[in-house]
Structure 1
Amino acid sequence: MAAKLKESDQHYNHRLEELRVKATIGKYAGISKVSNEKAVIAAVAVDQRGSLKKMLVADGRANVVDRDLDEIKTIVTDVLTPHASAILLDPEFGLDALQRRHGKGLFLGYEKTGYDNNVPGRIPEILEHWSARRLVEAGADCVKVLLYYSPYEQQEINDQKHVWVERIGDECRALDVPYFVETVGYDVAGHGEASVEYARLKPSIVKASMVEFSKPRYGVDVLKVEIPISMRHVSGTRSFGGDAAYSKSEALDRFREQTDVTELPFIYLSAGVPISEFTESLELANEAESGYSGVLCGRAIWKEGIPVFAQQGPAAFRDWIGKTGVEYLARVNALLGSARPWTNRIERPAAQQRG
């Protein structure tokens, strides 16, 4: 079995050797700063703002103030970065937290939180008082944007999104800073993202998003993508909820297909699912020999601690993160041994090779 796996790895690496993307010195260095010693990204995300406020209110925090968000981000950063390769923060409420990252890499988000429900298509916006240059000046090793995207959306709406991604890509090129684009699908038909109807479409949505934003015109360096299936709709798994969209064998095929649609490195987001569901999805990715190069996950690690903060305060939350949050992150890290180094897909710049 070990010989078979070794042969598979050799075939995979040989195939990618011919497809490697050429990187500039700055972009290669920036991605290296958010990675571990194996060139795998094992990062924690805590750039939530609007959704975090809603969680606090739902969990009993009567009057949510900005300081609450600042404290949550600072505690998560301080306690979890010793066990991570990097942290993703936002410049609105995360600037204090970035000082507590223990020398680990830093992603800063560039987009406004959420989207306007009164405007069709979940159109993204950037933060008005920030630029890619200002994010770098604040300490960012990499710039990240979140984009809600579906190939089934109206072309006029998707064109707006394409232009938006292009503009930020040009900013990042000019600064020689890595550009991470996070795509999250949504249901245009109105069934809802938790429905079995959407689950059947999800692989095509994830795949099409990866194909689109791998085009050189966007200047994307690493894709942050969804798991290509909905775990609760995979029969034969622990997470199965009783309404099947695919068998386990079909789910494994979706992971394999995802690996082949892009030459860029890609990493997984957790999408706020429970830790048990996220780790099982990584188990499937590993079984399928997915080409993913790590994770940038947030709520799966710390979301269960938000009721603790809301009802008992920062000290109790720090204690929860120090025990349960660290344990959850360790479970994710243990599965990243099968992740592929992003250096398999990005070529080291010639100047660094000589050095």
Structure 2
Amino acid sequence: MLELTKNKLAALKRLSDENGVIGALAIDQRGSLKKMIAAGSANPIGDEGIIRFKELVSEELTPYSTAILLDPEYGLPATKVRSKDAGLLVAYEKTGYDATAVGRLPDLLPEWSVRRLKETGADAVKFLLYYDVDEDERINDYKHVYMERVGSECAAEDIPFFLEIVSYDANIDDVKSKEYAKVKPHKVIEAMKEFSKPQYRVDVLKVEVPVDMNFVEGYTEGETVYSKEEAAAYFKEQSAATELPFIFLSAGVSAALFQETLKFAKKSGSSFNGVLCGRATWKDGVAPFASDGEQASREWFQVVGKKNINELNVVLKESASSWFDKIKNNNNLVSS
């Protein structure tokens, strides 16, 4: 179970609802968001356009979210217009990875430290790590040491450390393929076990669901990789793999499929503690922003974006477990 300082506990409460469930919005995308906007725009929008889009998301959608995840490169103006009731997570990693190098190695933003991120008003620091549990030992040891450093830095600044793990297989190019779907449960679950070890000082894991729902019986019209029973067993195994609070990322799937996935997780016995949901909530708001401008995008957020979050919140209320139950001495801490 997780042992929290008073400061970390207070910060996690600011990121959660009153029941200890995290319903956070993620818009720390940088390179991918640039491409999304550029694809729908006849004219270059530039950095100012990305900054403005993040501000719109923050302003319009944080009133319905417990927190927002932003990056310090383009997202800091959006921290100023978020709802006063929404907590703030800030990303610490450089976006993407060097596709020409072996190992998808992690890298920090050189202009930032945990101390400086905390000074922006962050309630927690998030780091994204690409991880293949079966990759060369030297590569994974490098990643282990790197995460020990980040965890120690967060502990020294007394701020929660959210570790986002994105799994892959060094020998499979397409993570959306049937081939990868077969190995995904092993990749996701073993990574969670590794980074639940105390030396990493992780407070909350942000993780993928353990299966590709597009290959689950009853959730696809195409080929299946898992029966419903097999998929449910993987969700239960994932939940048992850690004593830390963990939340799900949406991985770019549709809002509807993500909601169905959370319901399936609950039925399967998963004790997940919320979500950090990005593109599933706001991605369809990019097109009106890129083609028709700010007002068209704002109207999309006020109708469809709001609907996406409110529907997700209903599912979370029915499906997610409280992280209070995963805290040592929670009777004393949670009431403090």
Q: Please state which band the TM-score falls in when normalised by the shorter chain.
A: over 0.9
Out of 207, 213, 219, which is 2:189 matched to?
Answer: 207
For the structure 1 residues 241 and 159, does the alpha-carbon distance in structure 2 shift closer, same or farther, using more than 3 Å as the test? farther
Out of 178, 183, 192, which is 2:160 matched to?
Answer: 178
Secondary structure of 1:272's match? coil
Please say if residues 2 and 328 of structure 2, whose CA atoms lie closer than 8 Å, have aligned partners that are also in contact. Answer: yes
Q: How does 1:1-355 map to 2 (within 5 A)?
A: 20-103=1-84, 104-237=86-219, 240-337=220-317, 338-347=319-328, 352=333
Please say if residues 24 and 349 of structure 1, whose CA atoms lie closer than 8 Å, have aligned partners that are also in contact. Answer: no
Structure 2 Cα separation of the partners of residues 60 and 74 of structure 1: 18
Once the two structures are superposed, residues 45-75 of structure 1 have per-residue CA deviations (whole angstroms, 9 ceiling, x without a partner) of 0000000011112223541311111111101
Please say if residues 244 and 326 of structure 2, whose CA atoms lie closer than 8 Å, have aligned partners that are also in contact. Answer: yes
For the structure 1 residues 303 and 61, does the alpha-carbon distance in structure 2 shift closer, same or farther, using more than 3 Å as the test? farther
Please say if residues 25 and 349 of structure 1, whose CA atoms lie closer than 8 Å, have aligned partners that are also in contact. Answer: no
Q: Which amino acid aligns with 2:6?
A: I
- Structure 1 consecutive aligned stretches of length 4 or more whose deviation exceeds 6 Å: none
- Aligned-residue offset at 1:354: 8.4
- Aligned-residue offset at 1:159: 1.2
For the structure 1 residues 336 and 353, does the alpha-carbon distance in structure 2 shift closer, same or farther, using more than 3 Å as the test? closer
Q: Sequence identity, in percent?
A: 47
Once the two structures are superposed, residues 217-244 of structure 1 have per-residue CA deviations (whole angstroms, 9 ceiling, x without a partner) of 000000000011101100112xx14111
Partner of 1:5: none
Q: Which amino acid aligns with 2:104?
A: R
Structure 2 stretches of 5 or more lacking a match?
none
Structure 2 Cα separation of the partners of residues 77 and 60 of structure 1: 21
Once the two structures are superposed, residues 278-299 of structure 1 have per-residue CA deviations (whole angstroms, 9 ceiling, x without a partner) of 1111111111121000000010
Please say if residues 46 and 87 of structure 1, whose CA atoms lie closer than 8 Å, have aligned partners that are also in contact. Answer: yes
Secondary structure of 2:170's match? coil
Secondary structure of 2:12's match? helix
Structure 2 Cα separation of the partners of residues 50 and 348 of structure 1: 42
For the structure 1 residues 353 and 220, does the alpha-carbon distance in structure 2 shift closer, same or farther, using more than 3 Å as the test? closer
Aligned residues: 334
Please say if residues 243 and 326 of structure 2, whose CA atoms lie closer than 8 Å, have aligned partners that are also in contact. Answer: yes
Once the two structures are superposed, residues 194-225 of structure 1 have per-residue CA deviations (whole angstroms, 9 ceiling, x without a partner) of 11110011111110110000000000000000
Partner of 1:11: none
- Aligned-residue offset at 1:269: 0.3
Please say if residues 252 and 285 of structure 1, whose CA atoms lie closer than 8 Å, have aligned partners that are also in contact. Answer: yes
Please say if residues 148 and 200 of structure 2, whose CA atoms lie closer than 8 Å, have aligned partners that are also in contact. Answer: yes
Please say if residues 172 and 180 of structure 2, whose CA atoms lie closer than 8 Å, have aligned partners that are also in contact. Answer: no
CA RMSD of aligned residues (A): 1.4
Structure 1 Cα separation of the partners of residues 267 and 132 of structure 2: 27
Structure 1 stretches of 5 or more lacking a match?
1-19
Partner of 1:9: none
For the structure 1 residues 348 and 45, does the alpha-carbon distance in structure 2 shift closer, same or farther, using more than 3 Å as the test? farther
Q: Which amino acid aligns with 1:58?
A: A
- Aligned-residue offset at 1:190: 2.4
The normalised TM-score by structure 1 is 0.91
The normalised TM-score by structure 2 is 0.96
Structure 2 Cα separation of the partners of residues 328 and 60 of structure 1: 24
- Aligned-residue offset at 1:260: 0.3
- Aligned-residue offset at 1:118: 1.4
Q: Which amino acid aligns with 1:255?
A: F
Please say if residues 54 and 75 of structure 2, whose CA atoms lie closer than 8 Å, have aligned partners that are also in contact. Answer: yes
Structure 1 Cα separation of the partners of residues 54 and 30 of structure 2: 10
Partner of 1:13: none
Please say if residues 324 and 330 of structure 2, whose CA atoms lie closer than 8 Å, have aligned partners that are also in contact. Answer: no
